[in-house]
């Protein structure tokens, strides 16, 4: 292969030239029978590494996890209709969470398209259109590089999101000439500054409210605006909750102004603080509903300020008094300065009353949490809160948690201290299982020496079990902790009726027993350190041993089915 960027080259070589110019270090893929030329071209260069997956769910979720950590578009490669169809579920997860994943699919030769040829799909673009910002099939070899450049631009333009390109296999071997435009000329400034007058009005509403509440969205963390949010909350003395169904944690759970709300039975009424008279929402969706609620999450009389980079989200479900189109970083930076200049609107007595109220509310929430945690602390199966508190004690101060354990999320966020340095992300509301293991592997590859831990439910882990092979093959030093409650608990928690009726329904469609799933044994089959934990006193030793491993490790913890049914 000629050096990237030199003279005449094939369209496949031009593809790699563009990818390298955009900083791509890995392509996560499964080549299929249409990807031979593509794979051969990758093998002839050393700038970009190919990571092989055994299923497209793993390939695309690895790209998703890498993109979320790096903040850059990341490539996944699949093949024709079967590969694209297998990728749709995690493509949907990426779309819901605005992850800049670029999926390219090698397709059948254009000379046999329309003949119902092997693995041919009628319309791959239409199949993926509803899960992407842009979906396109390229029909000329000299347009491959141009289309990929555009794909990176579209994926990284706020609001970010996935892109799909179908590339007929015969185009990739054709020679192309001409210089590919520089990647820098396809990049745009990602910050969208707010209208200054709108921000002054937002500050006025915030400072004049009696019981305002900040609802922080994933967009705050994605924009790198957590510090600005902390400054604003501390300056005005305000409680902060995360938006329901968030993907990135945008406010440290260890902060005294941080409170947790139920994600399924959504209410913004906090203990002691009460019902807010103003919702101040930043970088979020208001709200993603899990089920129909007879009482709206936001009361009709509650005023609302919504700052969001995507205008579609503002006033989408709930009306707002002020909608501001802006990214969270620029908006919060300006708001901090505006509020600092107008703090006289909050007198000393009002600040003192708010501080006392928040202190009382936090103490009450902590007492209620301790009561729940003490119930069954020494029980078998393991109390998940005990597992999480051991994790909190032993894991690094800068650990990244990647979570796909849906029914353990509330317990994780209540009992693990996400202080400054620690971070968290999950798939928010797509609901496609099997994303977590691949996403955590991609996150680890983008994180250097930083510790990354995947928290997976047993159902989620089984959906993505093929990822164990990839983790073993490339010796990705990821710690996987399986919260094994032996059931699809998100399903089981929805059953209503008599105990007998619930039990019968669970046996039919939720219980994962007879045989039980043993992820430690599965890991060992691939040469991965695997440890099964069935007693609470075994947790610490298993974690310590796993943390000492130079490569991947899996801890399979049999936990109780006692989770919050909200």
Q: What is the DSSP string of 267-310?
A: --PBTTTBS-SEEEEESS-S---SS--SS-SS-TTSEEEEEES-
pLDDT at 262: 79
Specify the DSSP class assigned to residue 193: P
Looking at residue 182, which CATH number applies to its domain? 3.40.50.970
- Residue 31: strand pairing partners: none
> Phi and psi at residue 376, in whole multiples of 5°?
85, 25
Instruction: Take residue 410 and report the two structure tokens written for it.
Output: 């509330």
Query: Looking at the DSSP assignment, which residues form a beta bridge with residue 212?
Result: 278
**Which phi and psi (to 5°) does residue 530 adopt?**
-135, 135
Structural domain boundaries, residue 527: 376-558
Q: What is the DSSP string of 1-56?
A: -PPTT-SSEEHHHHHHHHHHHTT--EEEE---TT-HHHHHHHHT-SSSEEEE-SSH
Q: Which two tokens stand for residue 458?
A: 């047993």
Are both 404 and 524 inside the same structural domain?
Answer: yes
CA distance 48 to 4: 11
Helices 328-341 and 196-208 pack at an angle, to 10 degrees, of 60
Element (H, E) at 498: none
How many residues in total does the chain contain?
566
* 549 in the same domain as 426: yes
Q: Any idea what DSSP says for residue 195?
A: P
Residue 566 lies in a domain: no
In angstroms, the Cα distances linking 289 to 243, 295, 298, 391 are 11, 12, 12, 30
- pLDDT for 528 equals 99
Residue 76 in domain: yes
**Helices (DSSP H) in 434-498: which residue ranges?**
435-445, 458-463, 467-473, 489-492
What residues contact residue 297 under an 8 Å CB cut-off, 6+ apart? Answer: 244, 266, 267, 268, 287, 289, 318
Say whether both 101 and 244 belong to one domain.
Answer: no
Region at 475 (left for phi over 0; alpha for psi -120 to 50; beta for the rest): left
Does the residue 369 lie in any domain? no
The backbone torsions φ and ψ at residue 246, rounded to the nearest 5 degrees and listed phi first, read -80, 155
Q: Domain for residue 4, yes or no?
A: no
Does residue 44 lie in a domain region?
A: yes
H/E stretch holding 236 reads helix 226-236
489 with 387, same domain? yes
166, 269: one domain: no
Same domain for 106 and 203, yes or no, is no
Backbone dihedral angles phi then psi of residue 480, each to the nearest 5 degrees: -110, 125
Task: At 406, list the tokens.
Answer: 């849906």
pLDDT of residue 564: 52
In this structure, what DSSP letter does residue 523 have? H
**What's the confidence (pLDDT) of residue 563?**
66
Query: At 276, which CATH number?
Result: 3.40.50.1220
How many whole angstroms separate alpha carbon 20 and alpha carbon 6? 13
Domain finish residue from 363, 393, 419: 363
Verify that 216 and 98 share a domain, yes or no: no
Whether residue 368 is contained in a domain is answered as no
Angle at 104 between CA 70 and CA 179, to 5 degrees: 85
Measured distance CA(332)–CA(230) in Å, rounded: 10
Q: Compute the distance between CA of residue 175 and CA of residue 141 in angstroms, rounded to an integer.
A: 8
Residue 371 lies in a domain: no
Indicate the helix (H) or strand (E) that contains 312: none
Do 250 and 322 fall into the same domain?
yes
| Residues paired with residue 79 on neighbouring β-strands, in sequence order | 106
Helices (H), 375-423: 384-394, 409-415
266 and 321 assigned to the same domain: yes
Instruction: Answer for the pair 465, 458: CB distance below 8 angstroms, yes or no.
Output: no
Find tokens 């103490």 and name the residue: 363
Alpha helices in 493-536 (DSSP H): 499-509, 519-525
Domain-located, residue 191: no
Cα 220 to its chain centre, rounded Å, is 13
Cα dist from 76 to 64, 327, 353, 388, 438, whole Å: 9, 27, 53, 33, 12
Give 84's contacts (C-beta < 8 A, 6+ positions apart).
56, 78, 103, 105, 121, 124, 127, 128, 164, 166
The DSSP bridge partners found for residue 454 are 402, 480
40 lies in the same domain as 116? yes
User: Please, how many CA atoms are within 13 Å of residue 409, restricted to the half-sphere of its CB?
Assistant: 28
pLDDT at residue 7, as a whole number: 66
CA distance 566 to 564: 6
Picking from 476, 464, 484, 418, the residue whose alpha carbon sits closest to that of residue 26 is 476
Q: In angstroms, rounded to a whole number, what is the distance separating the alpha carbons of residues 248 and 423?
A: 8
| Strands 9-10 and 175-176, bridge-based pairing | antiparallel
Q: Does 153 lie in the same domain as 222?
A: no
What pLDDT score does 5 carry?
52
Closest CA to 311 of 320, 298, 303, 302: 320
Residue at a domain's end among 159, 186, 213: 186
Domain count, the chain: 3
Asked whether residue 15 falls in the same domain as residue 49, the answer is yes
Domain boundary among 293, 328, 363: 363
Identify whether the C-beta of residue 132 lies closer than 8 Å to the C-beta of residue 193.
no
Per-residue pLDDT of the chain (566 residues; tens, 9 = 90+): 344 455 689 999 999 999 999 999 999 999 988 878 888 999 999 999 999 999 999 999 999 999 999 999 999 999 999 999 999 999 999 999 999 999 999 998 778 778 787 777 789 999 999 999 999 999 999 999 999 999 999 999 999 999 999 999 999 999 998 887 777 777 777 778 889 999 999 999 999 999 999 999 999 999 999 999 999 999 999 999 999 989 999 999 999 999 998 777 788 999 899 999 999 999 999 888 877 878 888 999 999 999 999 999 999 999 999 999 999 999 999 999 999 998 877 778 888 999 999 999 999 999 999 998 998 899 999 999 999 999 999 999 999 999 999 888 899 999 999 998 999 999 987 789 999 999 999 999 999 999 999 999 999 999 999 999 999 999 999 999 999 988 777 777 777 777 788 777 777 777 778 899 999 999 999 999 999 999 999 999 999 999 999 999 999 999 998 765 43
């Amino acid at each position: 292969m000629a050096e990237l960027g030199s003279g005449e080259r094939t369209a496949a070589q031009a593809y790699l030239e563009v990818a390298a110019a955009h900083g791509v270090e890995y392509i996560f893929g499964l080549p299929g029978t249409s990807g031979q030329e593509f794979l051969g071209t990758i093998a002839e260069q050393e700038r970009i590494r190919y990571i092989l997956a055994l299923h497209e769910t793993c390939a695309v979720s690895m790209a998703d996890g890498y993109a979320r950590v790096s903040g850059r578009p990341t490539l996944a490669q699949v093949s024709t209709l079967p590969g694209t169809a297998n990728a749709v579920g995690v493509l949907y997860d990426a779309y819901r969470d605005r992850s800049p994943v670029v999926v390219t699919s090698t397709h059948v030769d254009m000379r046999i398209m329309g003949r119902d040829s092997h693995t041919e799909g009628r319309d791959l673009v239409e199949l993926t259109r509803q899960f992407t910002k842009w979906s396109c099939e390229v029909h000329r070899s000299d347009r491959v590089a141009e289309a990929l450049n555009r794909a990176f631009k579209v994926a990284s333009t706020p609001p970010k999101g996935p892109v799909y390109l179908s590339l007929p296999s015969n185009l990739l071997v054709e020679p192309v000439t001409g210089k590919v435009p520089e990647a820098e000329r396809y990049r745009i400034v990602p910050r969208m500054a707010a209208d200054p007058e709108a921000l002054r009005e937002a500050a006025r509403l915030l400072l004049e409210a009696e019981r305002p509440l900040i609802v922080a969205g994933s967009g705050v963390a994605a924009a790198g605006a957590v510090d600005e949010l902390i400054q604003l909350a501390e300056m005005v003395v305000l409680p902060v909750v995360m938006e329901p169904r968030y993907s990135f944690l945008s406010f440290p759970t260890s902060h005294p102004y941080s409170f947790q709300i139920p994600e399924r039975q959504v209410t913004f009424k906090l203990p002691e603080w009460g019902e807010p008279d103003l919702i101040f929402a930043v970088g979020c969706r208001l709200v993603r509903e899990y089920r129909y609620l007879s009482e709206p999450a936001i009361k009709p009389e509650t005023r609302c300020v919504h700052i969001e980079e995507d205008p579609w989200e503002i006033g989408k479900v709930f009306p707002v008094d002020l909608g501001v189109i802006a990214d969270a970083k620029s908006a919060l930076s300006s708001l901090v300065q505006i509020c600092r200049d107008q703090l006289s609107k909050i007198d000393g007595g009002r600040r003192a009353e708010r501080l006392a109220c928040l202190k009382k509310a936090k103490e009450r929430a902590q007492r209620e949490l301790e009561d729940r945690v003490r119930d069954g602390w020494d029980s078998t199966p393991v109390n998940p809160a005990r597992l999480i508190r051991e994790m909190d004690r032993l894991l690094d101060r800068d650990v990244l948690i990647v979570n796909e354990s849906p029914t353990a999320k509330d317990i994780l966020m209540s009992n693990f201290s996400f202080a400054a340095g620690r971070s968290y992300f999950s798939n928010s509301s797509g609901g496609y299982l099997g994303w977590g293991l691949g996403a955590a592997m991609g996150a680890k590859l983008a994180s250097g020496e930083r510790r990354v831990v995947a928290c997976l439910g047993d159902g989620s882990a089984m959906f993505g079990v093929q990822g164990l092979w990839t983790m073993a093959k490339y010796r990705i030093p990821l710690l996987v902790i399986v919260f094994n409650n032996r059931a699809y608990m998100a399903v089981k928690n929805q059953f209503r009726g008599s105990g007998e009726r619930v039990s019968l329904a669970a046996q039919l469609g939720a219980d994962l027993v007879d045989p039980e799933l043993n992820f430690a044994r599965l890991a060992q089959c691939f040469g991965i350190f695997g440890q099964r934990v069935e007693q609470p006193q075994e947790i610490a030793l298993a974690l310590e041993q796993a943390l000492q491993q130079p490569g991947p490790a899996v801890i399979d913890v049999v936990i109780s089915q006692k989770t919050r049914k909200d």
